[in-house]
Structure 1
Amino acid sequence: MKIAHPFPGGMILAIAAMIVLVSASNYLVQFPVNDWLTWGALTYPATFLVTDLTNRAYGPKRARQVVYAGFALAVICSLWLASPRIALASGTAFLMAQLLDVYVFDRLRGTSWWKAPLASSALGSAVDTALFFTLAFAGTAVPFVTLALGDFAVKLALAFLFLSPFRLLMAVVRPIKPARPS
């Protein structure tokens, strides 16, 4: 009798990707590109691609497991790479945004292939941006409103751009069938 591993290989890869992406983003958010953008804005949006591919391949339960594992391990790594305030703000924003992404993606799973990843990434990005920049920088000298606007614009642009790799990778991941209404 073969026992199913609690974390199939693809999920281990997804968890590792989350840890690397979130930790790198938390480090890079400390370095502005200009008055509207930090380097972290260029790496973090890929977390939504990872979540959406995991959701497509393994379903929402497994996608949430990747989010929880990525959250816990990335916050620990981020404490070494960034300030505790950034690490905790990131963890809070990440958890809320990614869980929203999983929920929205799953609700739109049976629609056109592009609707679920685009809508879930856009909504998750809005929540992530609002929570992270407020928690990390409110009350400091950092111009967090302008940085949040620039960050959100990049996240939306990358949500559109990541539709191409999502579509290409759909052939690699085994999609689950949408649940039939009871």
Structure 2
Amino acid sequence: MNDAVTRIEGEAAAPRHFKYYDLIMAAFVAILLLSNIIGASKPSYVTLPGGTQWSFGAGVLFFPVSYIIGDVLTEVYGYARARRVIWTGFAALAFMAFMAAVVVALPPAEGWPGQSSYEFVFGNSWRIVAASMVAFWAGEFANSFVLARMKVATGGKHLWTRTIGSTVVGQGLDSLIFYPLAFYGLAGWPPEQLFQVVLSQWAIKTAWEAILTPVTYLVVGTLKRREGAEVFDTDTNFSPFGKSIDADRA
């Protein structure tokens, strides 16, 4: 390990200020909200050889970036700080859902032609909102937990194994929970299409993680050098409801 990087064991270390933690948190929450607003409920497709159409959720093109940032958070700052960011993202999703419900419900000004379009885009049902939040919560915590435990098990070596391995688990849970909870039984979502979308989401998200592994290595390496720290969750409380350490503590 670089002499300029200090190894930090577990949560209960000396107070420390991290320069980039808040910026990474902001990027995570922004991508999370945008991917849920813009792409979550639109199914698209690709045409396979032979003319078969294979369906996938449009949001899959950008949402995995939040998982990559989640990997960076856990790898660089540890599970406890990643837990704090996950709860921040969860709260942001809840507020977004509340704001959308209020704004859509407000009567439009006379002559405004966009109410029906607004309702179609932002008027998600309670099922979609609940499914999105449950899937995000379960997937992100599973992703962070697997990565943190694998980091300790591997002694911090072979970063690619834990970023991809944690994504297989976390994104698998996210896809398996969200689409059936949100769309099963609805018109336009026959079971076979739903099954295709779940598998597509899982496969595409994992592929994105693998493809962007060099970027993950670059970002993780740069942040560790600039923060001067390497966090190992050797004695961390992994409960999602555990007390998250303050952003200025290490």
Same fold (TM over 0.5): yes
Match of 1:31 in 2: 42
The correspondence for 1:60, drawn from 69, 76, 79, is 79
Note if 1:133 corresponds to 2:179: yes
| Distance in structure 2 (CA, Å) of the matches to 1:92 and 1:118 | 22
Q: Residue 179 of structure 2: SS of its match in structure 1?
A: helix
Identity %: 25
TM-score, structure 1 normalization: 0.86
Q: Residue 222 of structure 2: SS of its match in structure 1?
A: coil
| Structure 2 residues not aligned, in runs of 5+ | 1-14, 46-53, 101-121, 236-250
Q: Residue 140 of structure 1: SS of its match in structure 2?
A: coil
Q: Which deviates more, 136-145 or 79-88? A: 79-88
| Distance in structure 2 (CA, Å) of the matches to 1:148 and 1:48 | 17
Note if 1:178 corresponds to 2:232: yes
Match of 1:45 in 2: 64
Q: Which amino acid aligns with 2:78?
A: G
Q: Which amino acid aligns with 2:42?
A: F
More helix by share: 1
Match of 1:89 in 2: 131
Match of 1:21 in 2: 31
Residue 177 of structure 1: CA displacement? 4.1
- With over 3 angstroms needed to count, the CA separation of the structure-2 counterparts of 1:11 and 1:32, relative to structure 1, is same
Q: Deviations over 1:97-118 (max 9, x none)?
A: 1111111001111241211111
Q: Which has the larger radius of gyration?
A: 2
Relative contact order, higher structure (CA 8 A, sep 6+): 2
More strand by share: 2
- With over 3 angstroms needed to count, the CA separation of the structure-2 counterparts of 1:82 and 1:118, relative to structure 1, is farther
Number of residue pairs matched?
177
| Distance in structure 2 (CA, Å) of the matches to 1:4 and 1:147 | 43
Residue 82 of structure 1: CA displacement? 5.4
TM-score, structure 2 normalization: 0.64
Match of 2:194 in 1: 144
The root-mean-square deviation of aligned C-alpha atoms, in Å, is 2.2
Contact 1:52 1:102 (C-alpha < 8 Å) held by counterparts: yes
Note if 1:116 corresponds to 2:162: yes
Q: Residue 159 of structure 2: SS of its match in structure 1?
A: coil
